[in-house]
């Protein structure tokens, strides 16, 4: 087997002697590429972000920004990385490099002071700069630099040049503030035809590489097929399974967790499908949330509401539905939504597959019916979808925060009656739960204020809310009831029109 190596700023670089748990951030800094910084070591600040070449949605390759502090260097065996240092164009000997347009706009518009966070902002901004379907709106001159004082933005989170500020939702700045950074983002034009990173999008990304990287007593494995992965997990049930490493990377950094065997499944083709059939949508467990969002393009409205509120773009670029469900966390944001959608999970092991309704999947705190050696292969969402859908996330920050309470609704309302109600809850029990009693209180009733208020009283008593540093049990209960009243207020006009 070929020695593990990755391409960094165009140069093939061996991963050895890094340990299997060594992050991409530490790997780069040990090689003198110190633009990426460690600010939080848990994917909250974005100071570490780098660009990785990944399979594209609208072109063969997308440049995707990821948190280098979370991803093991071994996970990028055979792949391509571009750091903030690699964005600039090298000059003649003895002359400084030519700044990339993103770097230049950040400098011109005062987007950097101490500079600690700047390289991370630059990489996240560059990923959005190279997004193939980013296009200028009214007020931007044919893809050229946009005058942010001239108006023309479609909303507060998108510039006239099509720049989506959600791409920076995982980057924090403690000195400059965000206005000059936003101005730099909104001033970006389109990549030039001779831009090498723009040209790179027209070529296929690196193919998945089977990896067996061993240092000392630890090994990082990337099987080539699902059957091989399942065989490894049968032989080594203690192995830690990772996809985007957005959860495991935190365990490694903050809690100093180590594993003798880590198995990466994020690039297995059998886990990367996405199809819309006549009676269901099937989403591969290793599709990233960003990929799902862009490929579905709003065809599942409840998921479309979830994605912007799920952590940050940097996290969504690595996180997967399989990982979010596999951890069994009671405060994960996707389970309430998938419960409301009546989703089921396709579980696979070396003996075959089985399908389990998500409502039957969780058995206790971070426990499930998934057996040792079994993986989540796909999520299935039945069709047709309920036309009234909403996801309410109650948290201390609007974006990039953990839920205190999460509530997902999917209702069928016909002729003024609630024909069907499905409600998923997170953060109010040891597991994500269906609000069965509230569903029963709604079904068959007229969708009027009195029904909503009576059902809200039932919803307040659902689950077993607890007091913790995020919210009190009383607050959580109050928010449950309030969320249903909010749904009624949001939907009454739409249903009656």
Q: What is the pLDDT of residues 254-297, one digit of tens each?
A: 999 999 999 999 999 999 999 999 999 999 999 999 999 999 99
Peptide bond into 471 cis (omega under 30): no
Domains belonging to the chain, first-starting first, are 1-208 (3.10.20.30), 269-382 (3.30.465.10), 388-496 (3.30.390.50)
Share of the chain above pLDDT 90, in %: 87
Q: What is the mean pLDDT of residues 464-492?
A: 92
Question: pLDDT, tens digit, for every residue of 197-221?
Answer: 999 999 999 999 999 999 999 999 9
pLDDT value of position 142: 41
pLDDT value of position 289: 97
Counting Cα atoms < 13 Å in the Cβ hemisphere of 348 gives 18
CA distance 345 to 436: 20
Q: What is each CA distance from 81 to 33, 287, 349, in whole angstroms?
A: 12, 20, 33
Is a pLDDT exceeding 70 seen at residue 298? yes
pLDDT value of position 153: 44
Is a pLDDT exceeding 70 seen at residue 151? no
Which residues are CB-neighbours of 466 under 8 A, at least 6 positions away? Answer: 473, 476
Is a pLDDT exceeding 50 seen at residue 150? no
pLDDT band for 493, please (50, 70, 90 cuts): low
CA distance 114 to 70: 24
Is a pLDDT exceeding 90 seen at residue 155? no
CA dihedral 436, 441, 443, 448 (to 10 degrees): -140
Q: What is the mean pLDDT of residues 344-350?
A: 97
Share of the chain above pLDDT 70, in %: 95
Q: Are 21 and 250 in contact (CB under 8 A)?
A: no
Question: pLDDT, tens digit, for every residue of 101-148?
Answer: 999 999 999 999 999 999 999 999 999 999 999 988 654 444 444 444
- Biggest CA-to-CA distance, the chain: 78
Lowest model confidence (mean pLDDT) among 128-137, 194-203, 220-229, 386-395:
128-137
In this prediction the pTM is 0.93
pLDDT band for 494, please (50, 70, 90 cuts): low
> In which region does residue 113 sit, left (phi positive, over 0), alpha (psi from -120 to 50) or beta (all else)?
alpha
pLDDT value of position 467: 85
CA distance 391 to 340: 10
pLDDT value of position 9: 97
pLDDT value of position 148: 40
pLDDT value of position 96: 83
Q: What share of the chain is helix, strand, coil (3-state, %, to 5)?
A: 30, 25, 45
Tokens found for residue 336: 């309430």
pLDDT value of position 139: 46
CA distance 71 to 82: 14
Average pLDDT of the chain, as a whole number:
93
Question: pLDDT, tens digit, for every residue of 44-88?
Answer: 999 999 999 999 999 999 999 999 999 999 999 999 999 999 999
């Amino acid at each position: 087997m070929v020695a593990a190596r990755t391409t960094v700023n165009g140069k093939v670089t061996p991963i050895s002697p890094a340990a299997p748990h060594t992050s991409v951030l530490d790997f780069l800094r040990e090689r003198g590429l110190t633009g990426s910084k460690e600010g939080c070591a848990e994917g909250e600040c974005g100071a570490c972000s780098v660009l990785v070449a990944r399979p594209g949605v609208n072109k063969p390759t997308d440049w995707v920004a990821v948190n280098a502090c979370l991803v093991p260097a071994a996970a990028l065996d055979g792949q391509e990385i571009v750091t903030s240092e690699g964005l600039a164009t090298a000059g003649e000997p003895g002359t400084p490099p030519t700044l990339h347009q993103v770097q230049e706009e950040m400098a011109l518009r005062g987007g950097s002071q101490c500079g600690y966070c700047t390289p991370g902002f630059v990489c996240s901004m560059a990923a959005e700069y190279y997004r193939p379907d980013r296009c200028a709106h009214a007020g931007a001159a044919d893809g050229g630099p946009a005058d942010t004082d001239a108006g023309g933005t479609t909303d507060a989170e998108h510039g006239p040049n099509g720049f989506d500020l959600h791409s920076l939702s995982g980057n924090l700045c403690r000195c400059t503030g965000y206005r000059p950074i936003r101005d730099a983002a909104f001033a970006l034009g389109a990549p030039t035809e001779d831009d090498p990173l723009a040209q790179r999008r027209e070529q296929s990304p690196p193919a998945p590489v089977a990896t067996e990287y061993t240092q000392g007593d630890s090994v990082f494995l990337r099987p080539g097929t699902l059957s091989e992965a399942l065989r490894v997990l049968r032989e080594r049930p203690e192995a830690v399974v990772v996809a985007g490493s957005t959860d495991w990377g935190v365990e490694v950094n903050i809690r100093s967790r180590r594993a003798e065997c880590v198995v990466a499944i994020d690039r297995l083709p059998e886990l990367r499908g996405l199809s819309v059939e006549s009676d269901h949508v099937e989403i591969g467990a290793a599709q990233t949330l960003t990929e799902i969002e862009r490929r579905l393009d709003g065809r599942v409205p409840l998921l479309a509401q979830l994605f912007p509120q799920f952590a940050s773009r940097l996290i969504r670029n690595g996180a997967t539905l399989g990982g979010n469900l596999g951890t069994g966390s009671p405060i994960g944001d996707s389970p309430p939504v998938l419960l409301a959608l009546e989703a089921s999970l396709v579980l696979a092991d070396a003996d075959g597959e089985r399908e389990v309704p998500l409502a039957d999947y969780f058995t206790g705190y971070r426990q499930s019916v998934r057996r040792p050696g079994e993986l989540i292969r796909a999520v299935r969402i039945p069709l047709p979808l309920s036309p009234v859908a909403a996801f309410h996330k109650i948290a201390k920050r609007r974006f990039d925060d953990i839920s205190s309470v999460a509530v997902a609704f999917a209702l069928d309302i016909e002729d003024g009656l609630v024909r069907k109600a499905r409600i998923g809850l997170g953060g109010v029990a040891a597991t994500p739960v269906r609000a069965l009693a509230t569903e029963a209180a709604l079904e068959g009733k007229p969708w009027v204020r009195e029904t909503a208020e009576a059902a809200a009283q039932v919803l307040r008593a659902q689950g077993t809310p607890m007091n913790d540093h995020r919210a009190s049990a009383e607050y959580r209960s109050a928010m449950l009831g309030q969320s249903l009243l909010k749904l009624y207020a949001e939907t009454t006009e739409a249903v009656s029109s």
